[in-house]
Amino acid sequence: MKSRIAEVLKLKFEPVAIIWSDEIPEGAKQFKKGQWGCVIWMLARAARGEIVAFDREHYGCQGGATGLGFGNRYYDFIGGIEGFCRFLSTGFKGWKEEVLEKIKDELRDELYEKMLNGERYKKSPELVRKFIEKLPAVEIQKKYVIFKPLSKVEKEEPVVVVFIANPHQLSALVVLANYSRETNDNVIIPMGAGCHQIGIYPYREMSSERPRAVVGLTDLDARLNVRALIGDDVFTFSVPYSMFREMEENVKDSFLEIGTWTRLMKYV
């Protein structure tokens, strides 16, 4: 499957198709069972030409499993939901520190420090609980979530297409997302993990009468994790497949063929 958008924007990396399936492609890369990993690592690998797959036993971390659509897996976090609420906010210090001490030798030093002192991405554990309650967590009815370079998609129909774009390209994608709409708010940037922003948030938009695109990779940890693979100057732009087709059809005769964009292209 080709993308006219990718061609005219001169994207450095392939758009990535997210596919739900009961079959895993031959040779697909996976995390090992129980192995910690960042889903956005795998997105970067797919954008560089590989095919990767996830299931309910191979997903990298609880946030990754949740973001991919394997239910709300934060209940599996150390200390359960409350443990995750502490982790994302003020940490385990002063709250069940003994739980951490029992597993300290199993944790990377960096992770231990994060869990003890908290990531501080939310002001309080109570606000993290509200954050979790508002996540559009879902249990997809397929065994696998597959990331595949769009050019390698043949008969399958993606559920979401993810672009990896620099600021100029992202700006063009935002304009294109609104180009044929009566409304001006057809792109959102919800707070969440990088995997939430390419997974469950775009999944939610799939069932909307007016699907919106989701800008992502505002997750600081994900940015740090993949900077060596895709650089420091990119974001994700994820669209439900129906919106992808709409945007593809709108390239012809649009601003992408004349005017300011053609001048800006030399800086892409």
Domain boundary, last residue among 113, 134, 155: 134
Supply the DSSP string of 20-67, one letter for each residue.
EESSPPTT-B-PPTT----HHHHHHHHHTT--EEEBTTB-SSHHHHHH
Are 154 and 25 part of one and the same domain? yes
Domain boundary, last residue among 134, 152, 186: 134
Are 170 and 220 part of one and the same domain? yes
Count of domains for the chain:
2
Residue pair 237/161 in contact by the 8 Å Cβ criterion: no
Query: CA angle, corner 37, sides to 239 and 216, nearest 5?
Result: 25
Residue pair 176/256 in contact by the 8 Å Cβ criterion: yes
- What's the pLDDT at 218? 98
Are 126 and 173 part of one and the same domain? no
Rounded CA separation 15/161 (Å): 7
Residue pair 78/92 in contact by the 8 Å Cβ criterion: no
Are 56 and 160 part of one and the same domain? yes
- What's the pLDDT at 268? 86
Are 42 and 168 part of one and the same domain? yes
- What's the pLDDT at 34? 86
Q: Which pTM value belongs to this model?
A: 0.95
Are 115 and 189 part of one and the same domain? no
Structural domain for 100, as ranges: 73-134
Q: Which stretches in the chain have pLDDT values below 70?
A: none
- What's the pLDDT at 106? 86
Domain boundary, last residue among 115, 134, 153: 134
Q: pLDDT of 103-153, one tens digit each?
A: 888 888 888 999 999 999 999 999 999 999 999 999 999 999 999 999 999
CA 19 to the chain's CA centroid: 14
Are 60 and 78 part of one and the same domain? no
